[in-house]
Each structure stands twice: as C-alpha cells, then as structure tokens.
Structure 1
Amino acid sequence: MKHTVSLLFLLITTLSFSQTTISGNVTDKKGEPIPGVNIIEKGTTNGSISDFNGNFEINVSSNDAVLEFSFIGFESQEISVSEKNQIDVTLNESAESLDEVVIRGFTGVIGKSRKRTESIQVTPESVTALNAEGIESAGISDVSSFSTLVPNLKFNSAQAVGLNFITVRGIPQVRGGDAPLAFVVDGVTIPDPSLLSQDLYDLALVEVVKGPQGALYGKNAIGGAVNIYTKEPTNKGSNRLKFGIGNGGSLLSQFVSSGAISKDKVFYRFSTQYKTFDGLLTNEFLNQNVDFSDNFNIRGQIKARLSKSFTVSATYQHFKIDGGATYYSVNPIGFDGEFPGGVLDPNPKEGNNVIVADVLGKSDMINNYGNFKMDYNFGNVKLQSITSINKVERSTFGDLDFIDLDLFTQGEEATTKTFNQELRINNTNTDTKLDWSLGGFYQKVEKDVYQNGADGVDAEFGPAEYDVADYVNEIKTIALFGFADYKLTEKLTASVGFRYDIDKFSQVDALFVTSSERDNNEFQPKVSLSYQASKNALFYANYGKGYRNGGYNADATDLFNREFDDETSDNYELGFKTTSWNNRLIFNGSIFSSKLNNQQQYILDLNTFIAGVYNYDETKIFGFELESRARLSNWLDVFANFGMADAEIVDGGTSGGSDGAFTDNTTYNGKKTPFVPVSSFGIGLESSFKVTDNLNFNGFLNLDTTGKTYWHESNLAIHTTDAYSLLDARIGLSYKNWQLDIWGKNLTDKQYYQEFSPGEFVGSPDDVAWRGQPLSVGTAISIKF
C-alpha cells in the first residue's frame, strides 16, 4: 500500500511539473456569473471556459502569460498573470455585439454531464440543460417542471410526499425500487429517490443526460443522470429577497445572501425558502382540501481558498415537507355489486371521478444533508475528495380503501441513512490530446421501513390491525471507475470508460424474523466515438451498459418473490448535433436501442396488503429524440422537442412463490411496458428584450404533451390513458434591481392522472387513480441588493 501511494504521488508530481494554475471567476457588472466565457493563453492554443457558476481554471506556461477573456455580447479583456494565482474578472456589455442576432440557448449552455465543463453542443451525449438564466426564465422549481422540457422524460408523484415515478427512455421507476436516473447534487450522488421531490432554487445548472451512465455515475444510472448544481459562494456581496402568492392559498418567501467573509479567501452563501399551500383538490366526503403542503428549506455553504492550489468547501441543507396523502380518486357511482367499487375511466373528465376517502391523509419528509469537498490542484492534475452524509425520514398515514367507509387505513415510516466517500483524480491540462479521470467510491445505505394496515371495523375483511412490514435493508458499495477521451485526429475522438461496482445486500426482518444476504459485482463499460465534421456539426455513436440494483421485498406472495433481481441494460445510440443559419438554428437528435434483463416492476397485493417488486426476464426498447431551437428575431426564440420510446416485454417470466403459487407473466409477452408514455412532444416560445434602458421583459410559453400510457401489462384499453397536453406560461418584468413574475401552470385546467391502478389485477374491486395538479396561477416580486 505504501508503495502504491508513493508511485501515485510521483505520478502526480511528474505530471504537474512546470505548470502554473490560474483560477478565478467571471461575472457581469451586476455580479452575476457568466458561463461559457472563453479564456485563452495569448499566443498559444491553451484554453478553458468558465462553468455555470462563472468559475474557471487554466494551467499556464509561466508567470509572464497573458489571458484573453471573450464572450459574445461583452467586451474582451486581456489580463497579465504576473504573480497572481486568482483572477476575478468583470466583463462589460458590448453595444455592438448586442445588436447581432445570435441564438441563446444550447450554444450558450455549459454542462457537466461527463464530469468536465463544456458546452452541451460538443458533448457526445443526449443532453438537455439550462443555466441560471434559462432556469429563471422557465420558472424551474423542481425536477417535475424541468422534465416538461426534456423528450422521453416523465416525472410523476403519487400517494405521499417523496413518492415519485420517473420514466426515462422507456425505463420506469417503481415503488420499492430505485430511480432509473442517478440524482446528483453539486457532484454528490443522492441515492434516495424520494429527494427528487425537493424544491429547487438558487440554481446554477439543471441538466439531464440520457442513456446508461454507469461508467460516470455508478449504479442506478441505467437510463441516465440528473445533474443539479447550486450557485456557489461569491467574493462580491449580494442579497436577494423574494415574496410570492398564488391560488389555493399559495405563499412563498425566499432569501439568498452571498459574499466574502475574508476577501479573496473565504466566501459564504446562505439561502432559505418557505412555501405553504392550502390545496386545490377537495375530498367531497370530508369537505376538505387534500393536496395541502408546507415546505421549509435552509442551506448554508462555505468555500475557502487555503492556498493557490488548495480549496475546501462545505455545505449543509435541511428541509421539511408536510403534505396531504392517499387521496386517490374512485368511480363516483360508488357501488358495484356486493362490495363498494367500480371501473374508473383512465381518461378523466369533470364528474367521472371523486375523492371520497373517510380519512384525511397526511405525510411528511425531513432531510438533513451535508458534504465536505477538498480540491488540490497539482498543475496538470487535480485531486478531489467528496465526503457526504444524508438522512431522510418519511412518514405516511391515510386511507387504504379510498372510499367513504371505515374499512382500512395504511401507515408507513421509513428512514434512509447514507454515507458517501469519493476520491477522484482528474486531468486539468487542456493542451493535450488525452483527457482522463480515475477514482474510487464507497457508499453505505441503510433503510429502515415499517408499514401497517387493515385498521378496520368489519372483521369480515381481516384482523382489526396488523403490521405489514418491519425490516432494515442495507447496501454497501465499493467501486472503481475511470474515463478517458483521446483525440485520434483533429475531428475524431474516442472515449472509453468503466465502473466496477462491488455490492453487498442484506435484510433483517423483525416481522417475519428472517435475515438475508447476497452479493453482486457489476462491470459497467462505456465506449463512445465522436466526429466533429465541422465547427457546427457533431456526430457520435455510444455503447453503454447500465445497472440498477435489486433488493428485498417485505415477503413473498403469489405475485412476487422475497427477493427481486438486479436489472441490467445494453444500450446503443447514434446521435448528431448541429447549428446553422448563423448560429440561429439548433437541431439535435439521437436514435437508441436497448435490451434490458430483469427489468423491475411494482405491484400491490391487496390480498396480503404487501407491496413488492418483480422482474421481467427480458424487455427491449427502441426510440428516438429530436430537439430544436431557433432565433426568429432579436427578441423571440421558438423551441420544440419530440421523443418516442417503444418499450416491449419480450419475456415476462414468472414471479411469486408463496406456498408454491406463482404468477405466469409470459402471457404479457409482446405487450408494451406499463407506466411508459409511448411519446412526448413539447413546443414553446421564449422572448426577452429591453423595453427601456432599465426595464426588461421576459416571456416563456410551453405546451407539453404526454403520449398514450399503458398502466398495466395487459394493455387493455380500459386501463390506458390517451395523450394529453398541459400549457404553462410565465411573464417577467425587471426594473433595475426589482423583478415581477406572473406565472401559470396547466392553464387549460386539464384533468389528468399521474398514476392509475386497475383493481382487477391487485385483488381490489376498485380502480383508483392519482389526479394531477389543476390550474395554478401566481405572482412573485423580488429585489436584489
């Protein structure tokens, strides 16, 4: 071990010889970061760009070097390095450049999907991203609002706070299982999918990269990754205060402050937000709103430059969300035969569904999260350490029969604790054909789950009260990873990556007095070839293997086993990215094909009140995506996207095993995978212009269409939702340091379902469904000082 460390230190020292590292930040005159600024060492080809927080790093050959800073719409600057190791630059707007017609959007968006800072137009992946300006313009406040802009991505929620269903490229998320997307905040993987429900604010980047990303993000990135970066502490002091109101008793207050504790050395950022909402959906039996919520969030960040090469930062976040729960809709007829129930129309209209549960459901989620980062730049390489802890506590109580009779209730308490440690070595030399990174990762996840049900008054339906589940699942992961790009020619680049996960799973079940253990080792390779045919045209081909870990159910039934298997995928993709019409038109596209083994699905067995996950032996997915943005004039952009995912069950296999009873899922061979919209389509307008020197207008309009969705493997029409569209809009006016926003979501007040459960397949006489949010409108005013 000592020899290995010595050799590693020698390698780093050798690679970093004779280099001077310059870092800094680029902002406009208002102190806002400028992403995508070109920084070039004058007289050389050595260069870098600023990231979504305006930060940059560049290795120069000597202290006599001169750096050139340039960006469209701003005056260029030249700054001598001299003895400086930190350079903070303020660029001034250029009147001449502002008169040019240049598209805003994809070309100006800087992402980090491959763990390095670069324009998404030169990234050989299917990426949709928004930097801070785009986030504010579109009114992005959570993953759900961003998903409406991403083809083949659908985000739904149901039942309780933190219970999400995210589907990407034909791969759905299931209850009791992990999301098909890695969720990454400020470079830290967050394993609990319930945290996808949190509010997003004070952001620098929101980014979705699709296709298996296991080589870069590890397990559960079987369909891609969601990258979220918050705004960083700044050297220049700034504050922002925001208040908002909306229908349904919606209230918002937000405060953000950032600045230097010690100028040029230690910086802070503090942000907090409180939201409350009385609700818009009514329980007709209780005559109460059911979709209420209270949301409090606080986040603190500190960043310190301890030396010219050594930077540390720490983040702590706490939030608490209280909300309604279990307010499923049922057939308004109410009675069908001997037992209350009925068939529910999967295409909701006014009056054909009601919420009539006799219990007012409530749920909450509490999160405490912290990370500590250390970055040491040796010159041509950087060593980074990220340590993080995360604790999520969730509870749910509510009706289980979902009708106005005192039959059954349900309750759940779940606590997830996570510890992550990652070490990464990155190449930072931009003047080389080879770009690479290597690292190691350790993670421990412990999830404690307790569930109960059947608290009824009628003994005909079972005991008055009993526990359904009480267990602790634990996953320990050790992983090694690496990724490298090599320029074969000036236009052709080959990329190779890998990740090797060593997982150990265990479950201790206090209810059934059992314990289980198993291991799984998974190799996740990635190979990519990209061809930059011209400055404005990129073509690429990717192969990647994805992996979503399996786990344990509370018990075995005739619908599922005690254990569900690990899911793997092989994905092939061809894509292109183009700009034309003097950079006024962006047109990107990709086509993909995936084969999945042991794809995970969820079902609730109402005969036992136990929910579980089972596997299809094999499924296949074929699809494509198109995205475009055009600048029609100096003040108007139009954008559109379309996605199609044909997900088919090839071999459903068998599941279950309780008392020798099995379920034959091969009867569904050739059927479409449930919970997967077969298509998605979005079109919108974005406008931004100066009304006067101090008054600016910003407008955003988006129509998002979700295609036909099958809610069960049978693909029966009575359990299938047709395509529907939602219209959102936002208008903003800013005057000096003031800003007024007016927004509306689901402006046509369209009724739609986020989840539909056909009763005939789960042992229930009722079909039940979870309604989406009705028409929501509001306004907010903010001031920067």
Structure 2
Amino acid sequence: MNTREVKRSLLGGTSIIAAMMMSPAVVAQDQGSDESGFALEEIVVTSRRKAESLQEAPAAITAFTSQKIQDAGIERPADFVALTTNLTLIETQNAGNAFVVLRGITQNRNSEPSVAVVIDGVQQVNPAQFNQELFDIQQIEVLKGPQGAIYGRNAIGGAIVITTKKPGEETEGSISAGIDNGPGYKIRGSVGGPIGDSGKLKYRLSGAFIDTDGYINNEFLGEEADPYQDLSLRGRLIWDASDRLSVDLRASMSRLKTQAFYYNIVTDVNDTSLPVRVNNAGQNDRDMNSVSMQINYDVGGGTITSTTSFDTLEEILTGDAFDFLPIEESLFYQILGVDLNQSQFLDVESWSQDLRFASDSDGPLRWMVGGYMIGTKRYISTGNLVDLGQGVTPVYREPSTNPNNPQATFLADEQDNFAWAVYADATYDLTDKLELNASIRYDEDEREQTTLTPTEYLPNVEGIPGAVSGEVRTVTFSEWQPKFTLRYLVNDDLTFYGGYSTGFRSGGFNQSGVGAIAVANGIVGVNDIFEAEVATTFELGFKSELLDSRLTLNGNVFTTKSENSYFFVFLAANSTQNLGTVPEGRLKGLELDASYRAAPGLDFNLGFGYTDSEIKEFQDSSVIGNKLPGVSEMTLNMGVQYSTEIADGVTLVTRADYQRIGKTWWDLPNSTVRNPVDLFDARISVEWGDGWAVTAWSRNLFNEKYNAEFSPGGFVFKAKPRRYGLDISKRF
C-alpha cells in the first residue's frame, strides 16, 4: 500500500472525532516514507476541526510534527514563527507583549489577538498568554486567512493550533538538560503511560525550567537587561470510560520572572547604536494557570464534544519611563528636576464552554453544529512614579504610598465581558473530485468597563470633557462570519482550491474623553471607543506532490479588505495609551512553500511570502496610500537538514535555517522603515544508543543587530543578539 492509499484508509475509515483524537505523529509515522527513504512524510492536520491530509486540505496551513519540532529546536513561539511564511512576531516591552502579524493583520498594545491560539482544544483569551514555553508538543499548525467561521471572534488573521503529547499505551518519557551563553541552564522532562492494568486510564506529566542571566547588556547597571526565569508544568489525565465515552483533563501553570521597559529613543528604527542605560532594573513577573476538560461521546451517527476551561493570568511590570536614561541625564530631570519610572498591572480571569456535534465522516455529506460561551473579568492599572533613585515600586490596585517612589499618574479600569456564538459547518462531495465546504458563525461580544481611577488621578484636560471615577460604559460588538471553500482534486498529486472567508476582532475602550483630547492635539482616528475590525479575504491556491512524493510544492494568492485595523497612539496630554483605527486598508499577497528530499536523509525547504499593504481610507488624506503599521513586506524562509549514520548506531544530524524579514513600516506617516533583517540558525546533533542525543545550537548565529519594534515617539526595543548552547537528552 502506498503513502496516499494509507492516508485515505486512515481518513476514510475513521470518524472525524476519532481521527482528531489520534496522535498526529502516529498517523504521520504510519504513513511513513517508502522503503528507499525518498518520499516525504504525509501529515494529517486538524486545524479546520476535521482530520485531513495537509496536502489535500483546501487551505494554507503550515504544520510542524513532533519530529520537526525536535529537529528545528522549537521551544518558544518565535521559533516556529521564524519558519512560517507571512508570519512575524514582534517581541517588545514585556513578556506579555508579543504581537503576532499574519498576512498583514496586526496586533498592538491593549488590542485583542490577531489570531486564534488554541491549545488542546481551548482557545486562549488574552494575547498576553501567547508568548510562553513550548514543551512536550505533538504538533503545531498555522492556519492562514480569516477563520471566524471556525474559531469566532479574534481569529481575524488565522489560527495557531497547538497539540500537546498525549499519554500512550506504554510508560515512556524523556528528559533533557542544557546550558547557554547567558549564562544559563534549562531542564525539560515528561513521563506518561497507563494507570493500572485496564488501559482505560492514562496520564502524562511534563515540565520545563529555564534560568538565564540574559543577553542584552545594561551598561549603566553593569548587568544584563533581560534575565529570564520560567517554571512551567502541565498534567493530563485521559479516561477512556468506554468505546463511546472519553474524558480528557488538562491542567497547566507557568511562573515567569524577567524585566521590562529597557527602551532607547531614536528617530530611525535602524539605529541600534545606543546601549541600554536604564537606571532601574525593574521587574516583570507573569503567573498563568489553566484547567480544562474535554468530553467526547459517540451517540451513534456522530460525536458530541464538550470543552470547558478556566484560565487566570496576572502580570506585573515595572521599570524606567521616558526617556529611559539615568536620572540626571533624563529629559524630565533637565526640565522638572525629577525623573519618572512606571508600573503596570494586569489581572485576567476567564471561563469558556464549547459544545458541538459532529457527524460521522462516512458519506458525501459531513457536518458540524455548535455553540460557544466565554466570560472574562479583567483589571488593568498603569501609572508613572517619581524616580528618586530608590528603585521601582510595583503598583497593583492602589497608587503607591512609598515616599521613596511616590505616584505621579495612575489609571485603572475593570472590564466584565461576556460573549457567545453559534456555528455550523458542512462539507459536501459534489463529485469524486469536487468538494464544497460552507461554514458560518455568529458572534456577539458584550463589554462593560468601569473606570476605577481615583478622582485626583483622572488625567482630564481643562475645557475638555473627560473621565469620571466610577463611570460605567457598555458596548456590544457582533458579526456574522461566513466561509466558503471549493476544492478540486485533479489527481492524487495535484489539488486546486479557492474560497472566501471573513473574520472579526472585537473593539474596545480607550480612556473616556480621549477622542476630544486627540482632536485638540491634532490626532485623528482615535476615539473613546475603538471599533471592531472586520477582514474579508478571497484566496486561490494549489498543492502538489512531484517526483514520486519527494517534492511538495504549494502556493496561493490572496486579497484582503480590512476595515478598522488598529494603530497605536500615546497621548502625552493625558498620559494614556490608545488604539486608533484605519477605516479601510487593503492587503494583497502570495505564498510559495516547497519541501524537497534530495536523497535519503537530505531535506531542503523553501518558503516565500509577500504582503503589499495600503491605507485606502483615513481621515487624514496625507497618509492614504501609505503602508499599514507593523506589516512586513515579505518573508523568506530557507532550510537544509542532513542526517547520516557516522558509526554503528550513531547518527549525525545537521540543520541550518535562514530567515529574511523584509521592510517593515511602523506608523501611519511611514516616518521610518526598518531595513530587511537576515537571521541564521544552526544545529548539530549526535544521536546514539537507546534515545540519547547531544545538540549544539545557535540562534542569530551571525549576531544581526536590529530593533524588534519602533513605537510612535521613537521608542525602540532591542532584538535578541546571538545565543548559543549545548543540550543533552534521553528518551525512555
């Protein structure tokens, strides 16, 4: 039986839910390569909530199997982002501020996510959860284009679906340890298997600990500005109660400690000459907890799936404030005789419930219906303090009373949000070769915000109506999100597809009175409430397998109309961070991905993505025709991996990856553009015996210096320089 026949047997003879429950790596391994070792593995993906071959799925999907994750050394989101076309990640300010940009759909401070991030069936609520350690991961899938019909609000750019490893039928696990040039060290491990003799109850425990001094020097304090310590743990318990009923319990926690706010102020984003010289090391502590339960019940003719989750996130960050220089050199000290530092606090609790029914996969018609609810409570405070050289006081829910670090400004608000959705999906085989998929979802998001800033700290401007302590504001955002996809299988090796999809991202609240203050300061596009963003995309693509499955070549073109895309504005007049909206933007692009097995053990991959962004409508006509902020013009991803046996039972694996991020614009006037960034990563591993491996690795091998972000006002945040280290691991 050849690779294609095995794949069709797996997908055709198994229900959708059963296939989704199957370990993707096991599926890929069973499909294997041919005896000569030339054929590339066949991958099964589930990011469209159905099990399907990656090469026949009518969508642009980049997938990383367990083996690929290991080979590429993927340990954080930035690692797989660097291997994905038209996907970039802007890491800035603090651990929770990591902005995902997919096909030009951007993200910024205080905004909702640009993509749906789903871990083991549970969709993340807050974008501050995204940037976390990845360990014991089975598969990662990046689904591109608006996915509102599948994942609802905030899947406007696409979806990132992460599946952790499930326990197997036998006890097994792994442990690894490593050192890096921070200097630092890390330990990772996992163990799982059956409990008892019945085989109905299985467990898996995994964890990771990393502690490094950092890589970016703070010349003033004589220490690194970016130390990093994280402890993450996860546990899963799966109960196969019967042939029809299964229960999957999952719990995880993360405790992160690092620093934040080590900016420089420049006019050109390409200026990396200034060293970090903040006089406050500050702190950035983030605590995350998550508990979820998924129940699958086969009722005959279909499966009911219930997914329930509860999440908490708390993050405190402190550090220097503008202009991020030692006290006596700072601008405020020169003018006012005092310097400032700052503190921010975020506290989020959320629960969610998803309930759906999926029909069996046999027959020409497959369908699914469901409903979703989510409740979120969020508290956030921000403020500046007078810097007397005595460090930074973390400020949570009340202004600082520390006489050595008195409060200068303080803002606080609380949100109580509830959203619900209903959705349906149907796939019909019009002929043996032609398939139509239609999905639709309605989301409604009701938001209530209460201003908790004490009256004496309200940043109102004389003569302009402003905020009132205790003020309650409500707003509801809703949208129908349809999606239609047509797939044509020319033959076993060539697939064409095309479709239309929509997505929307909820709007939200700026500080009350901001709209009038923005107008008074000559800033347009900023109001008290920023509207929901809606994106509609048309896409055409193809997928092919050539040279007896040694070469896969996939490509697509797309055009997206974006209404109310976000941009960031800091209003000095009332010391507020705000989001504005662009009434209409246009994104046009293409993607080309190829994988080639030149010989057994020798693999090449290539990915090219291009996105042309343009502001089509805006209140200030001078910026019409400019590029949208935060969008990179192109990405180029190239990689090569070679594996060979160098002695009996000893294998050498070498890998090199190159990423180019094209020109990136940062504000509406396009006042500065970052030049293309070229990054190289390399890994050399020796594997032997029963699961032993030693790996030497480097990221940003040639020490490319660039700024990860430019924020209006000239704020730049340094990207990580070269890192390297040595790991040893053992599978058992």
TM-score over 0.5 for the pair: yes
- The gaps in structure 2 that reach 5 residues or longer are 328-337, 390-404, 454-467
Q: Identity of paired residues, percent?
A: 28
Tell me if the contact between 2:569 and 2:712 (Cα under 8 Å) persists in the aligned partners.
Answer: no
Q: Indicate the residue corresponding to 2:317 in structure 1.
A: 396
2:699 aligned partner: 745
Match of 1:448 in 2: 379
Equivalent in the alignment of 2:649? 694
SS at match of 2:78: helix
Q: Which amino acid is 1:626 matched to?
A: L
Taking the aligned partners of 1:704 and 1:288, their CA distance within structure 2 comes to: 30
Q: Give 1:99's aligned residue.
A: 36
Q: Given the superposition, is the C-alpha separation of residues 215 and 52 from structure 1 closer, same or farther in structure 2, using an over 3 Å criterion? A: closer
Cα separation, 1, equivalents of 2:645 and 2:126? 43
Amino acid at match of 1:776: R
Match of 1:659 in 2: none
For each residue in 1:329-360, what CA deviation from the matched residue of structure 2 results, as whole angstroms up to 9, or x when unmatched?
A: 24xxxxxxxxxxxx4442245xx222111211
Q: What is the aligned counterpart of 2:32 among 72, 82, 107?
A: 72
Q: Check whether the contact 2:4–2:492 (CA below 8 A) recurs between aligned residues.
A: no
* Distance in 1 between residues matched to 2:665 and 2:697, nearest whole Å: 32
Residues 113-132 of structure 1 aligned to structure 2 (within 5 Å)? 113-132=47-66
Question: d(CA) in 1 for partners of 2:539 and 2:447?
Answer: 32
Give yes or no for contact 1:686–1:699 (8 Å, CA) kept in 2: yes
Q: 2:679 aligns with which of 715, 726, 740?
A: 726
- The runs of 5 or more residues in structure 1 that have no matched partner are 1-33, 57-68, 74-96, 331-342, 654-664, 760-766
CA gap 1:203/1:70 in 2 versus in 1, 3 angstroms: closer
**Cross-structure match for 2:571:** 605
Instruction: State the match for 1:506 in structure 2.
Output: 448
Q: Does the 8 Å contact 1:369/1:389 carry over to 2?
A: yes
Match 2:135 to one of 201, 211, 232: 201
Aligned-residue offset at 1:694: 2.1
**Counterpart amino acid of 2:229?**
D
Provide Cα deviations, 1:424-480, integer angstroms capped at 9, x if missing partner. 111223x3111111100000111100111142569xxxx963343210122211100
Aligned to 1:593: 559
Change in Cα spacing, 1:649 to 1:38, as seen in structure 2 (3 Å) is: closer
- Give the aligned residue type for 1:137: D
2:95 pairs with 1:161: yes
How many Å separate the matches in 2 of 1:644 and 1:160? 29
Report the Cα offset of residue 53 of structure 1.
7.4
Q: For residues 143 and 239 of structure 1, what CA distance do their matches in structure 2 show?
A: 23
Q: Which residue of structure 2 aligns with residue 422 of structure 1?
A: 354
Partner Cα separation in structure 1 for residue 371 and residue 494 of structure 2: 35
1:554 Cα deviation after fit: 2.8
Which residue in the other structure is 1:518 paired with?
A: 475
Distance in 2 (CA, whole Å) between partners of 1:674 and 1:590 is: 24
Q: Supply the distance in 2 between the matched residues of 1:178 and 1:486 (Cα, whole angstroms).
A: 34
2:568 touches 2:712 (CA, 8 Å); kept in 1? Answer: no
Q: Answer with 684-693 or 381-390: which moved more.
A: 684-693
User: Residue 714 of structure 1 aligns with which residue?
Assistant: 669
> Number of matched residues?
673
- Cα distance in structure 2, aligned partners of 1:40 and 1:323: 49
> What CA distance in whole angstroms lies between the structure 1 residues aligned with 2:12 and 2:314?
52
Q: Please say if 1:621 is aligned against 2:563.
A: no
Residues 713-743 of structure 1 deviation map (CA, whole Å, 9 limit, x = unaligned): 1113xx2111010001112221122111111
2:730 counterpart residue number: 783
- Aligned equivalent of 1:181: 115
Task: Give the Cα–Cα distance (whole angstroms) in 2 for the partners of residues 183 and 290 of structure 1.
Answer: 29
Q: Is residue 269 of structure 2 the alignment partner of residue 346 of structure 1?
A: yes
Instruction: State the secondary structure of the residue aligned to 1:448.
Output: strand
**Hey, what does 2:634 align to over in structure 1?**
679
Which one of 489, 493, 515 corresponds to residue 532 of structure 1? Answer: 489
- 1:48 and 1:478 map into 2 onto residues whose CA distance is 28
Aligned-partner Cα distance in 1 for 2:290–2:648:
43
**Partner AA of 2:145 in structure 1:** G
Q: 1:23-64: per-residue Cα shift (whole Å, max 9, x none)?
A: xxxxxxxxxxx99964849xx9745799687549xxxxxxxx
Deviation at 1:296, TM superposition (A): 0.2
Deviations 1:574-615 (A, max 9, x none): 111111111111111111111111111112223322101111
Q: 1:100 to 1:274 in 2, by over 3 A?
A: closer
1:274 aligns with 2:209: yes
* Compared CA separation, residues 502 and 672, structure 1 to 2 (3 A): same
Deviations 1:268-312 (A, max 9, x none): 000111100101111111212111011000111100111111101
Cα distance in 1, alignment partners of residues 387 and 184 from structure 2: 35
Check conservation: 1:675, 1:710, Cα contact below 8 A: yes
Report the aligned-residue RMSD.
2.2
Is structure 2 residue 384 aligned with structure 1 residue 384?
A: no
Task: Give 1:14's aligned residue.
Answer: none
Summarize the alignment of residues 117-516 of structure 1 with structure 2, pairs less than 5 Å apart: 117-263=51-197, 264-330=199-265, 343-349=266-272, 352-401=273-322, 402-405=324-327, 407-429=339-361, 431-456=362-387, 465-511=407-453, 512-513=468-469, 514-516=471-473
* One-letter identity of the residue aligned with 1:202: D
Go from structure 1 to structure 2 and tell me whether the alpha carbon gap of 1:142 and 1:51 turns closer, same or farther (over 3 Å shift): farther
The Cα offsets for residues 117-141 of structure 1, whole Å up to 9 and x where unpaired, read as: 2221111111001110011001111
Which position in structure 1 is the counterpart of 2:463?
none
Equivalent in the alignment of 1:580: 546
Matched position secondary structure for 1:177: coil
Q: Contact (CA 8 Å) 1:605, 1:611: kept in 2 or not?
A: yes
Amino acid at match of 1:515: V
Contact 2:183 2:214 in 1 (8 A): yes
Displacement of 1:377? 1.1
Q: Which amino acid aligns with 1:200?
A: L
Q: 1:355 to 1:51 in 2, by over 3 A?
A: farther
What is the deviation of 1:72? Answer: 3.4
8 A contact 2:488–2:497 mirrored in 1: yes
Secondary structure of the residue aligned to 1:121 is coil
Distance in 1 between the 2:171 and 2:262 partners?
A: 46
Q: How does 1:30-45 map to 2 (within 5 A)?
A: 38=7, 40=9
Find the counterpart in structure 2 of residue 565 from structure 1. 531
